[in-house]
A and B are shown apart, each in its own frame.
Chain A
Amino acid sequence: MKLLEKKETDVSDNFDFHQKKLHRRSFMRYTGAALATGSLFALSACKKDNNTGGVSFGSGDFAILNFAYALEQLEAAFYIKLIDNPYSGMSAAEKSLLTDVRDHEIAHREFFKAALGSNAIQDLEVNFTSIDFTKRDSVLNTAKAFEDLGVSAYNGAGRYISDVNYLAVAGKIVSVEARHAAYIRDLLSNGSFADSSVLNANGLDTSRKPSAVISIASAYLTTKLDASTLPA
Chain B
Amino acid sequence: MNILEIISSVEEHDADIMGRLDSRRWAMRSFANLGKKITFASLPFALSAMFQKAYGQTTTPAVLDVFNFALTLEYLEYRFYQKAVDASNLIPTGAPLTAITSIRNNELAHVNFLKTTITALGGTPVAEPVFDFTGGNGSGNGPFKAVFTSYETFLAVAQVFEDTGVRAYKGQAGNLVKQGDLLEAALNIHSVEARHASHIRQMRKFNNFGDVKPWITGKDPGVGAANALVQAVYDGEETTTQAGVAIVNIGGKTISANAASESFDEPLTKTQVLAIVDPFIV
Contacts and interface: CB of A to CB of B under 8 A. Distances in A.
Interface of A: 10, 13, 15, 38-41, 97, 100, 103-108, 110-111, 113-115, 151, 154-156, 158-159, 161-165, 167-169, 171-183, 186, 190-191, 193-195, 199-207
Given A107-B247, A155-B184, A194-B199, A172 B265 contact: yes
B109 A202 contact: yes
B35 interface: no
B105 A158 contact: no
A154 B266 contact: no
B229 interface: no
Interface stretch (B2-10, B63-71, B121-129, B249-257): B249-257
Given A159-B178, A175-B194, A207 B188 contact: yes
Given A175-B265, A179-B215, A191-B102, A204 B243 contact: no
Contacts of A202: 39, 41-42, 45, 109-110, 112-113
Contacts of A103: 254-256, 259, 262-263
Given A111-B250, A168-B267, A176 B190 contact: no
Contact of B177 (A115, A164, A177): A164
B178 A193 contact: no
22 contacts: A151-B191, A154-B191, A155-B187, A158-B184, A159-B183, A159-B184, A168-B173, A171-B170, A172-B242, A172-B265, A175-B166, A179-B265, A182-B195, A182-B198, A191-B98, A191-B102, A194-B199, A202-B42, A203-B105, A203-B108, A203-B109, A207-B188
B189 A205 contact: yes
Contacts of B195: 178-179, 181-182, 193-194, 205
Given A175-B170, A203-B109, A15 B247 contact: no
A110 B191 contact: no
**7 closest residue pairs by CB, A with B:** A203-B109, A201-B41, A178-B194, A182-B198, A204-B188, A104-B263, A175-B194
B214 A180 contact: yes
B171 to A, nearest CB: 9
A156 B263 CA distance: 20
A31 B166 CA distance: 30
A171 to B, nearest CB: 5
Nearest to A38: B244
B233 interface: no
B106 A203 contact: yes
A155 B265 contact: no
